[in-house]
Amino acid sequence: MDFGSSFFSSLIIFIIVYGLIIFRNIRGVNVPIWASMTFGAIAVLVLQVITIDDAFSAINFDVIFFLLGMFILVSGLESSGMLNYMVNRILSFAKTPNQILFFILFVMGLMSAFLINDTIALVATPIVIGLAKPMNIRPAPMLISLAFGITIGSMMTPMGNPQNLLISLHSGIEFPLFTFLRYLFLPTMTCLLVTYFIIKRYYKKEFSNAVMSQNMISNVVLESNLAKKSSIIIIITVIGFFVIGLIKLFGISTELNFSHIAIFGGISLLLISNKKKQIIKGINWQIIVFFVAMFVFMQGVWNGGIIELLQTILPFDTNPNSHTSPINIIGTSILTSQVVSNVPFVAISIPILQNYGFSSMDTMSWIALAAGSTIAGNLTILGAASNVIILEAAERKHSVAFTFKEFFKIGAIVTAANMLILVFFITFPF
């Protein structure tokens, strides 16, 4: 296929796919985001925008194995009731609606930093909806708070979300776990705190009318054997993430990365568990399909020249030595992620920045890419896959939702505040 027809085909497919994502309900028939992305992947293959060999090469198996391993571990925690028990136990200390809000933001946010935000989005959605009813409050403010919390919380570690993982694996940053924590722990905590006050103020009337009930926290039946095994392996896995960082910190060369630790932990749980079918059934295979399809689709979009078109509209600062480059990257990340979502945006941006001369030494630029693309999820529903996961889980299983407009109105305020916080900490790193 010549470049002209390839560009035209890619543009048409791009418009259709993102049209389906933006306008997800067609005459009452819901089109899941994974289905829209799968359509795009199949379309670029059928129209020969990308070859099968290129499509296979485009799939980042480090990300897929990491997601699969973490989904297995979290499925074990969820299937055993342990995850619900932990969350309910923590929430039981809340005595006021504002304390519930605080716990949703900080507890879910910190959990997402180590258990990946997409999994927490899926698991926590029914818990948050279950809290809203006895509080006599609309589920929407609670679900939006959950979305903000897990998005912001996932920012501070390489395993918090897929885009951070991509950056830690391919940017060449030394000691990624400790580097992320060094530069993003304080901004993350500050963003969570400021977001708490924004939500509290924005939904002041609704939270002031909320009530606290003795029956808010449900009793959870634990399957003790699976709960114990899942908890132990999760702890070992998280420790493994830190061990890899320490090994590299001491200058020991290793090919091991976070995806190897995650998939090893997941397989280990399957091998020793007597609830294998239950765990496998609990894995969100739709998210795995989404990411596989996304890598193929985005490679097709790249081959067709669409990304180059987008980059001319929203260009990066091409000078790695520029003092304003990290700020430029944050702004570009936030805006462009609304069009292509943050994970595919980062997947495309890494080679672009490397072509401009950004290397492993440009730490703050890579940190800016991670932070900017992550908080982009707070601006619109389409900014992060975790937002879509929360919305689809709420609609499909509980028939509740929040609108694009409601999310954007408060999301614009939260994103502006988060961006200012990030710019400050990146400009004046501690």
pLDDT in tens, 26-63: 455 567 778 888 999 999 899 888 889 989 988 888 88
- Contact status, residue 151 vs residue 117, Cβ threshold 8 Å: yes
pLDDT band, residue 310 (cuts 50/70/90):
low
- Tell me the residue range of the domain where 335 lies: 3-427
pLDDT band, residue 252 (cuts 50/70/90):
confident
Percent of the chain residues topping a pLDDT of 90:
25
- Structural domain count of the chain: 1
- Helices 117-132, 97-115: axis angle to 10 degrees equals 160
Residue pointed to by tokens 């944050």: 330
Can you give the pLDDT at residue 374? 94
Can you give the pLDDT at residue 412? 94
Q: 218 vs 283, which has greater pLDDT?
A: 283
List, for residues 127-154, the tens digit of each pLDDT value: 888 888 788 888 889 999 999 999 999 9
Among 163, 162, 127, 110, which Cα is nearest to 390's?
127
Can you give the pLDDT at residue 201? 93
